[in-house]
């Protein structure tokens, strides 16, 4: 069984477990709700993400868009190795972190 969780923690939001095609629908609304209920700068902790695929990338891009639309700034405060690798491979890391993708190639 696939598992994922989104929780509001002091200083931000923590996503744990899998961010994959199998869990995207399970966590999408929780992630959006957590972002829109957060302060101006939203710290997103992804250190506990154990599996991550292009559906996870889509969730992060959605989170980024929702933060912008609601006047917030989304910052990745921690990322698991798999999140860093997939974001770099997709060329999406720079969109979410402001870090050039070439520096973070696996």
Q: Where are the domains of the chain?
A: 4-104
Give the tens place of pLDDT for each residue, 20-60: 999 999 999 999 999 988 889 899 999 999 999 999 999 99
Cα separation, 88 vs 105, in Å, equals: 5
Instruction: Evaluate if residue 103 carries a pLDDT over 70.
Output: no
65 token code pair: 């868009």
Give the tens place of pLDDT for each residue, 57-78: 999 999 999 999 999 999 998 9
Element housing 36 (H / E): helix 24-36
3-state helix, strand, coil in the chain (%, to 5): 45, 30, 25
Residue 104: the pLDDT is 47
Cα separation, 31 vs 79, in Å, equals: 16
Instruction: Please give the share of the chain, as a percent, with pLDDT higher than 70.
Output: 90
Tell me what the mean pLDDT of segment 14-22 comes to.
96
Q: CATH class for domain 4-104?
A: alpha beta
């Amino acid at each position: 069984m696939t598992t994922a969780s989104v929780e509001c923690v002091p200083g931000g939001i923590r996503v744990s477990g899998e961010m994959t095609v199998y869990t995207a629908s399970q966590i999408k609304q929780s992630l959006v709700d957590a972002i829109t209920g957060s302060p101006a700068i939203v710290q997103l902790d992804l250190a506990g993400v154990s599996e991550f695929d292009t559906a996870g990338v889509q969730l992060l891009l959605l989170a980024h868009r929702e933060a912008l639309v609601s006047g917030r700034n989304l910052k990745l405060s921690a990322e698991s190795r798999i999140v860093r690798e997939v974001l770099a491979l997709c060329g999406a890391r720079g969109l979410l972190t402001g870090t050039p993708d070439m520096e973070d190639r696996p």
